[in-house]
Amino acid sequence: MEPVKVGICGLGTVGSGTFNVLVRNAQDIERRAGRAIVVEQIGARRDSPQVDLTGINVTRDVFEVARNPDIDVVVELIGGYDVARELVLEAIRHGKHVVTANKALIAVHGNEIFRAAAEQGVIVAFEAAVAGGIPVIKSLREGLGANRIQWVAGIINGTGNYILTHMRDEGRAFEDVLAEAQALGYAEADPTFDVEGIDAAHKLTILASIAYGVPLQFERAYTEGISRITFDDVKQAEALGYIIKHLGISKRTDDGIELRVHPALVPKEQLLANVHGVKNAIEVMGDAVGPTLYYGAGAGAEPTASAVVADLLDVARDMATHHDYRTPYLAFSGIVEGDESLPILPMENIVTAYYLRLLAVDRPGVLARVATILAEQGVSIEALIQKEATEGELVPIIITTHRTREANMNEAIRQLEALADIAGPVTRIRIEHLDENV
What residues are designated binding site for NADP(+)? Answer: 9-16
Q: Which is nearer to ligand NAI, 140 or 358 (CB)?
A: 140
Q: Which residues contact 250 (CB under 8 A, 6 or more apart)?
A: 151, 152, 153, 204, 207, 208, 211, 212, 257, 258, 259, 260
Rounded least distance, CB 132 to ligand LTNE7NMQ, Å: 5
Rounded least distance, CB 416 to ligand LTNE7NMQ, Å: 34
289 binds, among ligand NAI, Na ion, ligand LTNE7NMQ, none (CB under 5 to 8 A by kind): none
Encoded amino acid at 345, one letter: L
359 binds, among ligand NAI, Na ion, ligand LTNE7NMQ, none (CB under 5 to 8 A by kind): none
396 binds, among ligand LTNE7NMQ, ligand NAI, Na ion, none (CB under 5 to 8 A by kind): none
Closest CA to 431 of 407, 399, 408: 399
Side-by-side strand order, sheet with 124-125: 57-59, 37-43, 4-9, 73-76, 97-100, 124-125
Interface residue list for ligand NAI (CB under 6 A): 10-15, 43-45, 62, 77-79, 83, 101-103, 128, 132, 185-186, 188-189, 299-300, 304
43 vs 83: CA distance, rounded Å: 13
194 binds, among ligand LTNE7NMQ, ligand NAI, Na ion, none (CB under 5 to 8 A by kind): ligand LTNE7NMQ
Interface residue list for Na ion (CB under 5 A): 127, 130-131, 134, 307
Rounded least distance, CB 186 to Na ion, Å: 14
Site string for ligand LTNE7NMQ, 291-310 (x = CB under 6 A): -------xx-----------
The 3 state secondary structure assigned to 327-384 is CCCCCCCCHHHCCCCCCECCHHHCEEEEEEEEEEECCCCHHHHHHHHHHHCCCCEEEE
Q: Which is nearer to ligand NAI, 78 or 237 (CB)?
A: 78
77 binds, among ligand NAI, ligand LTNE7NMQ, Na ion, none (CB under 5 to 8 A by kind): ligand NAI
Q: Which residues contact 396 (CB under 8 A, 6 or more apart)?
A: 232, 357, 358, 359, 360, 386, 387, 390
Rounded least distance, CB 206 to ligand LTNE7NMQ, Å: 11
Q: Work out the angle at residue 409's Cα, subtended by the Cα atoms of residues 405 and 411, and round it to the nearest 5 degrees.
A: 120
What percent of the residues of the chain are helix, what percent strand, and what percent coil, each to the nearest 5? Answer: 40, 25, 35
Q: Which is nearer to Na ion, 10 or 135 (CB)?
A: 135
187 vs 157: CA distance, rounded Å: 9
Please identify which residue in 16, 48, 159, 404 interacts with ligand LTNE7NMQ, judged by CB under 6 A.
159
Are the CB atoms for 278 and 156 separated by under 8 Å?
no
Size of the site for ligand LTNE7NMQ (CB under 6 A): 11
437 vs 208: CA distance, rounded Å: 18
300 binds, among ligand LTNE7NMQ, ligand NAI, Na ion, none (CB under 5 to 8 A by kind): ligand NAI
121: left (phi over 0), alpha (psi -120 to 50) or beta: left
Rounded least distance, CB 101 to ligand LTNE7NMQ, Å: 7
279 catalytic residue (yes or no): no
Alpha helices in 34-81 (DSSP H): 62-67
Residues that bind ligand LTNE7NMQ (CB under 6 A): 132, 157-159, 186-188, 194, 199, 298-299
Q: Just list the catalytic residues.
A: 203
